[in-house]
Amino acid sequence: MQTQTFHDDPARARVMAEIERLGLQAHVLELETLGFSVIPGVLSAAQVARAQTVILERYAQDTGHRVDPHTEDGARISGQTYLPYLLYDDPVFADILLAPAPLALISYLLGESCVLSSMGCHFKGPGGEPLPLHSDNGNGMPAPFSPIAYVANINYALTPYSQAAGALAMVPGSHKHARQPTAREMRLDHDNPNPRAQAMNLAPGDAVVWHGNTWHGSFARQVPGVRMNLAVYCARQFVQTQEQHEGVVPAGMQALHAENPRLAVLLGAKRPYGWRREGPDYAKMARNPRGLYD
């Protein structure tokens, strides 16, 4: 019997062919060595503007008041508010989810069968506390973490990022520690932050992709205005997702992206578990991933 070798894996071949087609080889190297990689200019100006508009409206609906994203002084929002479950608020979010370059890197980290765990905005006004450094391996995952990513993240900047503006912070190489940071290592306070933490200085439309082990957080905003992002959190098929998508995807969204089967997979179409009286779907179970890149 011939044993399939690592280099014979057809899923790996597809994933790496897409990496090469998009010219992302250097980004793969950064994922391996730094634990994260920045992809500039992923989103168009129109996509950024539309996402900003929808998020500002969502914030107004959820809180009952509106903010000026350029001049907010902390009177209406101080620190960070998380706006969850944005995918179905506007068609722009499905388009962003399917952006080829970040999705290719997510496939490299999590395989072709990976699913969307959550999509939300960390909506941040002046003041408040920083978000401490942490790994996305939450939900009780014990250390040492696997070097194989079980979860991974894409963070899209929708407003300019800088340390003073409350930027995302990353710790290069921290994915190799295979654990959560200690209480001292978590700190991002203004007077005594972790010295290895780097502010991601990004323009609107840029994206950061990172391995789930990598330590990250965000600085407190020190200037007027609002920082908006779009956090697209993904997971391997067997991991419990933060948001529920199976059985709730609007027919219109499915029809709009009917030519791209990847959306259905990201939203759980291949996941075989969660049955009720009808019992298991053995056809789905037969398609369970068997390798790193399936």
For the residues of 12-61, what is the DSSP string, one character each?
HHHHHHHHHHTT-HHHHHHHHHTSEEEETT-S-HHHHHHHHHHHHHHHHH
Q: Per-residue pLDDT for 193 more than 70?
A: yes
Is 239 a domain residue?
yes
The pLDDT of residue 192 is 86
Average pLDDT, stretch 247-253?
Answer: 89
Q: Per-residue pLDDT for 3 more than 60?
A: no
Is 6 a domain residue?
no
For residue 227, give the CATH number of its domain.
2.60.120.620
> Per-residue pLDDT tens for 30-74?
999 999 999 999 999 999 999 999 999 999 999 998 999 999 999
Is 292 a domain residue?
no
Of residues 5 and 94, more confidently modeled? 94
Is 7 a domain residue?
no
CA distance linking residue 198 with residue 264, whole number of Å = 35
Is 112 a domain residue?
yes
CA distance linking residue 286 with residue 71, whole number of Å = 55
Band of the pLDDT at 141, cuts 50, 70, 90? confident
Of the chain, the percentage scoring pLDDT greater than 70 comes to: 97
Band of the pLDDT at 8, cuts 50, 70, 90? low
Q: Per-residue pLDDT for 139 more than 80?
A: no
Which among 136, 38, 120, 36 has a CA at the least distance from the CA of 80? 120
The pLDDT of residue 245 is 93
Q: Per-residue pLDDT for 199 more than 60?
A: yes
Domain that holds residue 96: 28-286
The pLDDT of residue 191 is 82
Average pLDDT, stretch 210-235?
Answer: 97
The pLDDT of residue 2 is 39
Average pLDDT, stretch 92-119?
Answer: 98
The pLDDT of residue 1 is 37
Average pLDDT, stretch 140-161?
Answer: 95
Q: How many domains does one find in the chain?
A: 1
Block residue for tokens 């075989």: 272
Q: Per-residue pLDDT for 4 more than 50?
A: no
Is 261 a domain residue?
yes
The pLDDT of residue 175 is 98
Which among 205, 284, 258 has a CA at the least distance from the CA of 94? 258
CA neighbours within 13 Å on the CB side: how many for 151? 22
Is 176 a domain residue?
yes
Is 13 a domain residue?
no
CA distance linking residue 171 with residue 164, whole number of Å = 18
